[in-house]
Amino acid sequence: MTDVGVTDISIYVPSYYLTHQDLAEARGVPVDKFHIGLGNFKMSIIPNWEDSVTMAANAAYQLLMKTGTDPKEIRQMVVSTESGVDYSKPVASYVQELLGIGIRCRIYEVKHACYGGTAGLINSVDRIARTNRESEKALVIMTDIAHYGFENSGEPTQGAGAVAMLVERNPKLFSVDTTQNGVYSKSVFDFWRPSGHVVPIVDGHYSIECYLKALEESAMDLKENLQLNGRRLIETLDYVVYHMPFCNMAKKAHRHFVQLEYKDADNAEREKRFKETFEKMVEPGLFGVREVGNIYTGSVYMGLVSLLESEREEVEGKKVGIFSYGSGCGAEFLICNIKENAQKLIDGLNFKKQLDRRKKISIEHYTHIYSQKPQDVRYFPQEVRHFKDEYTQFVFTGIKDHKRQYV
Ligand code: HMG
């Protein structure tokens, strides 16, 4: 069977963050609700000179540079987002121009809430597996701004960022076998953003129920596909990364997974298994969400980047279960088989280094930024160089003749 998967991955987070300490003080909420109850400490804030296009291009630019990929070699580019900038023109078209991706490339945008990134990845792996050209490459990008508005229960789960992956044959980082998966979809109203709404409508506690049900069903489907014959799925995996709208969602998800997997055990035994496996299999993937918050489509893959950077050589040759959930809802449980000798690539992720370059902003500054409308953004190209840094190569400069401008 053709070995297809991801040769390298990169992540981009914007240059500002707000602390949950400052948010808690401003909202009159005990900070422990955010630190202990949700498990989050900082949220990435996107400045007005960035949007889903610049974050996508900034993530993918790093990836093309570090892999030495000529943009003209990309034959498929999928951008997954629920933070689109236009009802018709895809974010992918803007990114094509910024990155210099060639014209002989299939380019499109995918939307299915946070699940969209996985849809783009699975489709790209299948495309590369079927192509006649050995060296064909696909670029999969997930880019989003989790924005709930002010003074509501979703506000402390906000974040922003993008992830980019290069898909090819004989991948260097991990393989994905798209037949070894478990899927689930059902129409629900747990989180949705009707056309014209700037922020989503959320039934928060119900969304957690929908997520856990999707985990249960897709794990069951994966078990059937793998024909485990009574063996436990959890025992065939080395790590699990869950979609993480906030850090403790991974804890809730893993507790549920352990309960399902050890149905026959008593409560004390299940709690022991939960503690042991959580620390070993899940905890190493959590530092990104604590620092960044929810990045919707890229969230589960930010968890994967965190895991790779935390575990380094330990993760070589290991099996990582990925549980991807998107409201609405759709879910998939898949497996990434990490390659031997992946450490050199992992050393090039530099996620912690990128997080350290961010600037803390005040609650007043955050309020100002998130009160602005895109049409109010007017920068002059000569001022724009102040906003660029090692990671931020592309910025948004405003709208002219209904056309978004970037440099
Ligand atoms: P809430 O109602 O404000 O919070 O909203 P809560 O009262 O449920 O408290 C949260 C936790 O903090 C609880 O712990 C409290 O006990 C604890 P839990 O019972 O969950 O273990 N707590 C405290 N702990 C210590 N000290 C204190 C304290 N006070 C309370 N003083 C909610 C929480 C997650 C619902 C809200 O943030 C929300 O609506 N978030 C957005 C929706 C969401 O993230 N849903 C998750 C599943 S759906 C999903 O993941 C899809 C999504 O990514 C979108 C997409 O697909 O595009 C969102």
Q: How far apart are CA 339 and CA 308, in angstroms?
A: 12
| Pocket lining: 289 vs ligand 1, CB cutoff 6 Å | no
Distance 350 CA to ligand 1 centre (A): 30
- Of 174, 213, 192, the residue nearest 325 (C-alpha): 213
Confidence of residue 378 (pLDDT cuts 50, 70, 90): confident
Confidence of residue 211 (pLDDT cuts 50, 70, 90): very high
Instruction: Look at residue 379 in the predicted model and tell me its pLDDT.
Output: 77
pLDDT digits (tens, 9 = 90+) for 217-274: 999 999 999 999 888 999 999 999 999 999 999 999 999 999 999 999 999 999 999 9
Neighbours of 44 (CB within 10 A): 26
Residues 355-365 as b or e (16 or more Cβ within 10 Å = b): beebeebeeee
Q: How far apart are CA 318 and CA 305, in angstroms?
A: 14
Instruction: Look at residue 229 in the predicted model and tell me its pLDDT.
Output: 82
38, 118, 187, 289: residue to mutate for ligand 1 pocket, most atoms within 8 A of CB: 38
Amino acid occupying residue 135: S
Instruction: Look at residue 151 in the predicted model and tell me its pLDDT.
Output: 97
Is 193's pLDDT higher than 80? yes
- For the ranges 79-93, 276-290, 388-402, the lowest mean pLDDT is seen at 388-402
Task: Give the position, in ligand 1's atom list, of the atom nearest the Cα of 153.
Answer: 3
DSSP 163-205: EEEEEEES-SSEEE-TTS-EEEE----SEE--TT-SS-EE-HH
- Decide if 11 contacts 358 (C-beta within 8 A): no
Instruction: Look at residue 366 in the predicted model and tell me its pLDDT.
Output: 98
DSSP 298-367: GHHHHHHHHHHHHHGGGGTT-EEEEEEEETTTEEEEEEEEEPTT-HHHHHT--HHHHHHT-EE--HHHHH
| Pocket lining: 327 vs ligand 1, CB cutoff 6 Å | yes
Is 1's pLDDT higher than 80? no
- Residues recognised as catalytic: 82, 114, 243
- Of 242, 354, 385, the residue nearest 12 (C-alpha): 354
DSSP class of residue 378?
Answer: B
Per-residue tokens: 166:
């290069």
| Pocket lining: 153 vs ligand 1, CB cutoff 6 Å | yes
Per-residue tokens: 98:
């910024």
Instruction: Look at residue 123 in the predicted model and tell me its pLDDT.
Output: 97
| Pocket lining: 19 vs ligand 1, CB cutoff 6 Å | no
Q: How far apart are CA 232 and CA 53, in angstroms?
A: 42
DSSP class of residue 157?
Answer: G
Instruction: Look at residue 134 in the predicted model and tell me its pLDDT.
Output: 84
Q: How far is CA 363 from CA 141, 367, 368, in A?
A: 30, 6, 9
- Decide if 293 contacts 270 (C-beta within 8 A): no
pLDDT digits (tens, 9 = 90+) for 89-144: 999 999 999 999 999 999 999 999 999 999 999 999 999 999 888 889 999 999 99
Is 382's pLDDT higher than 80? no
Instruction: Look at residue 204 in the predicted model and tell me its pLDDT.
Output: 97
Q: For atom 13 of ligand 1, which residue has the closest CA? A: 37
| Pocket lining: 212 vs ligand 1, CB cutoff 6 Å | no
- Decide if 113 contacts 327 (C-beta within 8 A): yes
Instruction: Look at residue 45 in the predicted model and tell me its pLDDT.
Output: 98
What's the chain's average pLDDT? 96
Q: How far apart are CA 388 and CA 98, in angstroms?
A: 15
